[in-house]
Amino acid sequence: MHVLSILILILALSLPAAAMAQSVAATTTTTRTTGARPAATRAAAQTPPRPARTPTPAQAAQHQRMRDCNAEARRRSLTGTSRKEFMRPCLRGNMPAATGNAAAPVARQ
């Protein structure tokens, strides 16, 4: 009688787990075959994309300065510290004078 009680207890504990596993498998199979999406995914797919923000005039000007300064630094073949020293004032709108043999600054007397 004791063995029978243990078998009934094991059976009672394993049935809900087996039923749940079948329900999950059925849901997964249905989703794969029908192509149905969960509600959260459907809602995300239905939201319209945000429109692209246009930059403010100040942002556009800064972006153009960045392009111009990068092009000038590349033209001058600047690298490392000399490039940094050139880029800081250039991005602020104060284009530094050319350095090196091309345009040496004139010494004041």
Sequence letter at residue 9: L
Domains in the chain: boundaries:
58-92
DSSP state of 53: P
Token output for 66: 């960045």
Sequence letter at residue 23: S
- 6-16 per-position pLDDT tens digit: 878 776 777 66
- 37-96 per-position pLDDT tens digit: 666 666 666 777 888 889 899 999 999 999 999 999 999 999 999 999 999 999 988 877
Alpha carbon 63 to chain centroid, angstroms: 21
